[in-house]
Amino acid sequence: MVCLSSLPLKRGRRGIAGVIFLVFVSMVVPLIFLLGINTRFHPSTRWGDSEPDPGFRNFNPAERGEDSEGGQSEHLDMLLRKFGPELSKEVIGPIVNEVDKETVNSSPVIVTREPTRANQSSGGMESLPTSLVTVQKQLPDAKKEKVVTVETTDIVKGVNGDESKKSCQLEFGSYCAWRKEHKEDMKDSMVKKLKDQLFVARAYYPTIAKLPAQDKLSREMKQNIQDFERIFSEASTDTDLPLHVERRRQKMGELIHKAKSFPVDCNNVDKKLRQILDLTEDEAHFHMKQSAFLYQLAVQTKPKSHHCLSMRLTVEYFRSHSDKELLPDDKNGDPALYNYVIFSNNVLASSVVINSTVMHAKESEKQVFHVITDGQNYAAMKLWFLRSSYRNATIYVLNIEDVSPNYSDSSDAVRLSFSDEFRVSVRNTDKPLSIQMRTEYVSVFGPVHFMLPEIFQDLERVVVLDDDVVVQQDLSALWSLEMEGKVNGAVEYCGLRLGQLKSYLGDNIVDNNACAWMSGLNVIDLKKWRELNLTDTYRRLLQALQIENEASSGVASLHATLLTFQNQIYALQSSWALSGLGHDYSVDAQTIKEAAVLHYNGKMKPWLDLGISKYKGFWKKFLKRDDLFMDECNVNP
């Protein structure tokens, strides 16, 4: 190839018009990709041609009447615009390295609120992922012997195309872990070779088209480029390629070889190839965001079979039962019994929690379960537990709309909420780069949990179980647990400490080294709760934090919950509850076996198709399958 990097060129008005067109195209095309107008990569798009040939028609399947795919793309574009450009709902601050866990600075960690499952029934989505720009600064700790590295993050609206192991978890959450676990090798070696040839041909075609003496070569290149575009519009793997594709590859190679033999401006070819590379990277990142969106949609939406089961139970309840068919109240409100509380709108999930607890109980007749659900699932829940037996345990189903009269001052008074989950990312510089970033899903009480003293006015102690847990041991020891005057017995998570949130919590922090705690399994002393009036404390803090920091209700709820229970947490031994089964593929098998409670915190719940397969067995073995509606609705988690 002969390269002429500085050939004198005479340009008149036509040259100026070409430059203006180039500038226009360079601005419009990236916007098209970022806004999601083009949702599928079509190699036929000729980016950056200085003088586009009107006869060089892009090959588009829609032009042949294939409207189905175009309709899907338009529908997805509408969803992307409707649900926004970000998966993360709120980013609080920087990421703190775990260099010294004993001394905690006032620097915050990055905490991202995950969309709650309360939005499942309405198909609600919070947002799509953001890109994060990191800046590192050094902060000496109190001992002045070590240095704590803080990686601050700022939200930017653009995309940086970075899909490294370092940033993928931050940007796309547990989707990255799922994608890595289910990655499949595509047999597309020939497709890649053909695409490489197509990109090179595109880079040389504009220059060859300007050479009057090479009109025949220009036509042949144009024809072959169009042929390749037609192939790629229908083929993505080698098995999709048409016959005699090797002959076409050889012909294209000969044309490229001829094009390289003519004197061309290497700078133009280089710019053209860089354009194609940049736009291809943007396209890959866009599809990454698209996949993450679909993943989020899948994990936040109730499966069709589960929805069918709930609807069939509801119809059957109103057809053959009435509100008079309730369990006797002889055990309701008896403080001498083992009272468990479950907030859930998922029939199967709450059933597994109760069944696993009863199966391991030494005295099942002393166990009373209070399942609190919303009005939409109330009838289905009640019929399910009326038709199912769980040894000698007693189960009461409560409608949140009927038990919250004293909470009418809140706009969320009758809306069922679950434990709020927040994604916390922590960097440990002592480990290799590929595993420095560790992500944990921290779950804490939601607003509805602070109604417990009002709902159960006759009880002094309850055990709160999330509906994404499985019990593997007898829990009766929790009722004789001496909590040393504390209100909440919970497993602590010291990857997040209150001192790291000082810039948001202000002077309300009593102990900077106090650890965050996890919901899932919580022993609640309601008598002490009432003495300290923690419900009013929570409401007051929530209102103040929303006003001062202008934070969303979800993030303000995290801050208010942590402040409300500071110095009121009794730390349970870590063997009581094991978390991570909803997002971590590397949980130790022996640790799982020894844990009393397994907590599937994270996005990959065990009843979803996207759940982690090797952990599903612990959940499935407590699933009751003897209901007729399960077969009719094809329920098979």
Please write down the HEC assignment for all residues of 459-488: CCEEEEEECCEEECCCCHHHHHCCCCCCCE
Contacts of residue 631, defined as CB under 8 A and 6 or more positions apart, other chains included, come to: none
Task: Calculate mean pLDDT across residues 310-334.
Answer: 76
Nearest to 291 by CA among 189, 178, 145: 178
pLDDT computed for residue 415 by the predictor = 58
Helices (H), 161-265: 165-172, 174-181, 189-209, 215-232, 245-260
- Position 86 pLDDT exceeds 70: no
pLDDT at 93 over 50: no
DSSP letter for each residue of 236-253: SSGGGSPTTHHHHHHHHH
Q: Residue 41 above 60 pLDDT?
A: no
Q: Which of 352-366, 496-510, 602-616 has the lowest mean pLDDT?
A: 496-510
Q: What is the pLDDT of the chain when averaged over all its residues?
A: 76
Tell me the mean pLDDT in the region 1-12. 48
- Which is more confidently placed, 548 or 9? 548
pLDDT for res 332: 75
Domains recognised in the chain with CATH numbers: 2-83+185-299 (no CATH), 301-632 (3.90.550.10)
Q: How confident is the model at residue 504 (pLDDT cuts 50, 70, 90)?
A: confident
- Using a 10 angstrom Cβ sphere, with 0-12 exposed, 13-18 middle and 19 or more buried, the burial of residue 8 is exposed
* The pair of three-digit structure tokens given for residue 318, joined into one six-digit string: 């109103």
Q: What is the reported pLDDT for 77?
A: 54
Say what the pLDDT of residue 403 is. 78
183 or 19, which is more confident: 183
Task: With cut-offs at 50, 70 and 90, classify the pLDDT of residue 255.
Answer: very high
Return the minimum-mean-pLDDT range out of 51-55, 266-270, 390-394, 623-627. 51-55
Q: Is the pLDDT of residue 63 over 80?
A: no
Q: Which residues, in sequence order, are CB contacts of 359 under 8 Å at separation 6+?
A: 391, 622
What is the predicted pLDDT for the residue at 604?
A: 93
Per-residue model confidence as pLDDT tens digits over 340-360: 999 999 999 999 999 999 999
pLDDT at 117 over 70: no
Nearest-angstrom CA–CA distance, 416 and 451? 11
At residue 31 the predicted structure's pLDDT band, cuts being 50, 70 and 90, is low
| 149 in Cβ contact with 270 (< 8 Å) | no
Question: Residue 623 — pLDDT band, cuts 50, 70, 90?
Answer: very high
pLDDT, tens digit, 9 for 90 and up, residues 544-595: 877 766 556 667 888 889 999 999 999 999 999 999 999 999 899 999 999 9
- 6: helix, coil or strand? coil
pLDDT of residue 435: 67
pLDDT of residue 326: 53
Residue 174 contacts residue 602 (beta carbons within 8 Å): yes
- What are the structure tokens assigned to 359, written together? 């199966």
User: From the centroid of its chain, how far is CA 488?
Assistant: 28
Query: Token digits for 134?
Result: 């990191």
**pLDDT of amino acid 105:** 42
Q: What percent of the chain has pLDDT over 90?
A: 38
C-alpha neighbours within 13 Å on the C-beta side of residue 391: 17
Q: Mean pLDDT over residues 61-73, rounded?
A: 44
pLDDT at 15: 59
**Separation CA 55–CA 205 (nearest Å):** 14
Q: Select from 142, 221, 236 the least CA-distant residue to 190.
A: 236
d(Cα 546, Cα 551) in Å, to the nearest integer? Answer: 5
Residue type, 387: R
Residue 295 structure tokens: 């993943």
Q: How large is the average pLDDT for residues 104-126?
A: 50
pLDDT in tens, 414-436: 456 678 888 887 777 777 766 66
Q: What are phi and psi of 489, to 5 degrees?
A: -90, 115
Chain centre distance of CA 579? 17
pLDDT at position 633: 92
Neighbours of 516 (CB within 10 A): 27
Strand partners, 493: 516
- Residue by residue, DSSP assigns 324-360 as T----TTSTT-TTSEEEEEE-S-HHHHHHHHHHHHHT
Q: What is the pLDDT of residue 544?
A: 83
Residue 282 has pLDDT above 60, yes or no: yes
Give the mean model confidence (pLDDT) for residues 622-630: 88
| pLDDT value at 185 more than 90 | no
Average pLDDT over residues 72-100: 43
Q: How far apart are CA 569 and CA 524, in angstroms?
A: 10
pLDDT class of 16 with cuts at 50, 70, 90: low
Residue 398 has pLDDT above 80, yes or no: yes
Q: Residue 233 pLDDT > 80, yes or no?
A: yes
285 vs 35, residue with greater confidence: 285
